[in-house]
Copies of this chain bind each other. A is one copy, B any other.
Amino acid sequence: MRILFIGDVVGDRGVQMIQTYLPQLKRDLKPQATIVNGENSTPVGRGISQKIYKQLLESGADVVTMGNHTWDNKEIYEFIGSTNKLIRPANFPGKDVPGRGWTKLKVNQATLAVINLQGRVFLPPLDDPFAVADKLVTEIRKETPVIFVDFHGEVTSEKRAIALYLKGRVSAVVGTHTHVQTNDAQVIDHQTAFMSDAGMTGPAAGILGMQPASVISRFLNQRPARYEVETSEPGIMSGCVIDINDETGHATKIKSVLIDHDHPYDR
């Protein structure tokens, strides 16, 4: 099967990019499953709302993943429990964590499992993503070898480490969170597709999608500054497309997707 993954959607501009380009990408690339990271999709760039979640689905997402901003918009507590298409990092600790950390969907005759995990280097100490992945993957592989992992993490070492740790056991490990696409898309040992970060989807001119002035001001002064989502026109949309052998679960190809001013969409 072919999977299309789109990285962190930021603010209104990000949702607009999804609405504009996701249908075109799906028409042209013909993925059988589409996954979108929506952890920054509210207008303020923190968390997700039910309205936006539905817009992402209507634009073509089959599964929406999250990250460290999962709970920033409290509205998520109201609906995450009643859907299996919205997942949050599986390694959030504690009893009765709302929502779920992985999901599955039928794709043709096969089953695709999607896992969301969060790294711990320079991020809060959730449960060990390596241990949680190990356990989940072992369980899921009893049902299907086609497994996609959105690993939401800060540093390249942790992302590559978990990809190598899961190599041959999952179809793909794609990083999110840094909001900058890396140029290292690769299929490791003809088994597991990997790229350190898919990149973001939203306003191109910002810093992580936020207005530069306040971000720079905070670096200069180290005093609190309110970050506002960048609203200027040029947008960026980032992700990747992965081909997987449904029988073996092995990836055969990964290719980055990038639409921005320097890379206009023309297909």
Question: What is the interface of chain A, defined by CB distance below 8 A to chain B?
Answer: 70-72, 92-95, 97, 120, 122, 124-128, 130-131, 154-158, 160-162, 164-165, 178-184, 186, 196-197, 199, 207-208, 212, 215-216, 219-224, 256, 258, 262
Contacts and interface: CB of A to CB of B under 8 A. Distances in A.
Given A120-B125, A180-B156, A182-B181, A222 B161 contact: no
A162 B219 CA distance: 9
Contacts of A197: 182
A221 B154 contact: no
Count identical subunits in the complex. Answer: 4
Q: Which of A127, A157, A158, A262 has the most CB of B within 10 A?
A: A157
Nearest to A46: B224
A258 B71 CA distance: 39
6 contacts: A71-B224, A130-B216, A130-B220, A161-B212, A181-B184, A183-B199
A161 B92 contact: no
A246 to B, nearest CB: 24
Contact of A126 (B178, B222, B224): B222
A183 B186 contact: no
Most B Cβ at <10 Å: residue of A126, A196, A222, A223: A222
Nearest to A158: B219
A72 B128 contact: no
A130 B71 contact: no
Contact of A128 (B125, B155, B216): B125
Contacts of A155: 154, 178
Given A181-B182, A181-B184, A221-B93, A207 B164 contact: yes
Contact of A93 (B94, B131, B161): B131
